[in-house]
């Protein structure tokens, strides 16, 4: 397992170097530009930059394997396919964590070195503010990886991103259609939102320890399901 992760580092060091230079640069410029031009950080834009850079960096990291069809070589080695899958999960998680650390580091540099203060940035730089997007990134990664092992890096990424985009667009699309054709699209989603709000309300009443324990259990559960699916898909895939 360690040898496979080491392989990823040897093969993808140039990508890592690029990420190390690019992420702090883009993040810092984005923070400065937003604070200077708009008087503060815009959560939507900043979130998009952060998520985009971290995920794209992690996928770029394994893109070297895609270019050189590394699966052909890896599967011909005396290795169980499940080990290849687990190693790729770990490599991508490490890369994602590294990328996200660079984003946080850039935020810290902006606040403490360039003395750029912003209420949103201050909230982002708390433990909760740091870990909430990080967990979200891990969820997205765990969601995307089974698609990649089912199909291939390119096709799998495309399908995973498309399905996420579709999920994100369901609510605005429904609202728009409801506005244009009220008699055709009369289905009311508000009860789902009410349920969600009730869940959030219930969560806010729980102790911090219980919430963290719940998050850990949830992440672990999603990780196990994602890994099991990926191993199953990869075991049944023609290389």
Q: Is 204 in the site for other proteins (CB under 8 A)?
A: no
In angstroms, give the least distance from the CB of 235 to other proteins. 9
Query: For residues 30 and 111, is the Cβ–Cβ distance under 8 A?
Result: no
Which stretch, 5-13, 35-43, 54-62, 204-212, contacts other proteins (CB under 8 A)? Answer: 5-13
How far apart are alpha carbons 110 and 123 in whole angstroms? 14
Among the listed residues 5, 70, 120, 222, the single contact to other proteins using CB under 8 A: 70
Site for other proteins in 132-191 (CB under 8 A): none
C-beta separation of 34 from 40 below 8 A: yes
- The window from 73-81, 143-151, 184-192, 202-210 that contacts other proteins (CB under 8 A) reads 73-81
Among 123, 155, 195, 236, binds other proteins (CB under 8 A): 236
Per residue, what are the HEC states of the chain?
Answer: CHHHHHHHHHHHHHHHHHHHHHHHHHHHHHHHHHHHHHCCCCHHHHHHHHHHHHHHHHHHHHHHHHHCCHHHHHHHCCCCHHHHHHHHHHHHHHHHHHHHHHHHHHHHHHHHHCCCCCHHHHHHCCHHHHHHHHHHHHHHHHHHHHHHHHCCHHHHHHHHHHHHHHHHHHHHHHHHHHHHCCCCCCCCCHHHHHHHHHHHHHHHCCCHHHHHHHHHHHHHHHHHHHHHHHHHHHHCCCC
Minimum CB–partner distance for residue 78 and other proteins (Å): 4
Q: Minimal distance in Å, beta carbon 63 to other proteins?
A: 12
Measured from the Cβ of residue 139, the count of other Cβ atoms closer than 10 Å reads 15
The number of residues that bind other proteins (CB under 8 A) is 20
> Is residue 1 close enough to count as binding other proteins by CB under 8 A?
no
Give me the least distance between CB of 126 and other proteins, in Å please. 41
What does the block give as tokens for 9? 């580092």
Q: Binder to other proteins among 25, 38, 68, 114 (CB under 8 A)?
A: 68
Q: Does 77 engage in binding with other proteins (CB under 8 A)?
A: yes
Q: Which is nearer to other proteins, 15 or 55 (CB)?
A: 15
Binding mask 35-64 for other proteins (x = CB under 8 A): -----------------------------x
Q: Pick one of 33, 75, 196, 198: the residue that binds other proteins (CB under 8 A).
A: 75
Q: Residues interacting with other proteins, by CB under 8 A?
A: 3, 7, 10-11, 14, 64, 68-70, 72-73, 75-80, 236, 238-239
């Amino acid at each position: 397992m360690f040898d496979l992760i080491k392989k990823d580092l040897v093969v993808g060091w140039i990508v890592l170097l690029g990420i190390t230079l690019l992420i702090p640069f883009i993040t810092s410029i984005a923070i400065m530009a937003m604070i200077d031009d708009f008087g503060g950080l815009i959560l939507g834009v900043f979130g998009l930059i952060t998520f985009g850079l971290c995920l794209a960096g992690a996928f770029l990291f394994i893109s070297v394997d895609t270019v050189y069809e590394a699966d052909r070589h890896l599967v011909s080695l005396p290795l169980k396919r499940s080990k290849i899958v687990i190693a790729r999960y770990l490599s991508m998680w490490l890369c994602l964590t590294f990328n996200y650390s660079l984003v946080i580091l850039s935020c810290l540099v902006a606040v403490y070195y360039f003395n750029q203060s912003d209420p949103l940035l201050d909230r982002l730089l708390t433990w909760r503010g740091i870990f909430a997007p990080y967990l979200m990134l891990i969820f997205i990664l765990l969601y995307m990886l089974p698609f990649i092992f089912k199909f291939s890096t390119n096709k799998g990424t495309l399908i995973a991103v498309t399905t996420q985009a579709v999920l994100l667009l369901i609510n605005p699309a429904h609202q728009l259609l409801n506005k244009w054709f009220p008699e055709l699209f009369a289905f009311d989603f508000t009860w789902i939102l009410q349920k969600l709000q009730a869940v959030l309300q219930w969560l806010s009443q729980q102790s911090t320890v219980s919430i963290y324990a719940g998050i850990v259990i949830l992440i672990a559960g999603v990780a196990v399901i994602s890994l099991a699916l990926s191993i199953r898909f990869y075991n049944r895939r023609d290389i």
